[in-house]
Amino acid sequence: MSSDGESLRGYFAGLSDGGQVVRALEPAPRGDEFSALVDKFGINWLVNISARG
């Protein structure tokens, strides 16, 4: 069984496929994971995966 975080990281991988990751998905000071990317269609995304369950 996968966690919500693992599922969300999978969505991130799909969004970034063929696009440009501006900031890698990594832990932020507040404990969440954060990233910025531009998908293959030119849409900007800010991704935040909450550390809280």
Rounded Cα distance between 45 and 23, Å, is 10
State pLDDT tens for residues 6-49. 999 999 999 999 999 999 999 998 889 999 999 999 999 999 99
Q: Are 12 and 25 in contact (CB under 8 A)?
A: yes
- 3-state DSSP assignment of residue 17: coil
Number of domains observed in the structure of the chain? 1
d(CA 37, CA 34): 10
Query: What domain range is 20 assigned to?
Result: 4-49
- DSSP β-bridge partners for residue 33: 27, 49
Taking only the tens place, the pLDDT of each residue in 39-50 is: 999 999 999 999
CATH classification of the domain holding 24: 3.30.720
How far is residue 38's CA from residue 17's CA, in Å, rounded to a whole number?
A: 10
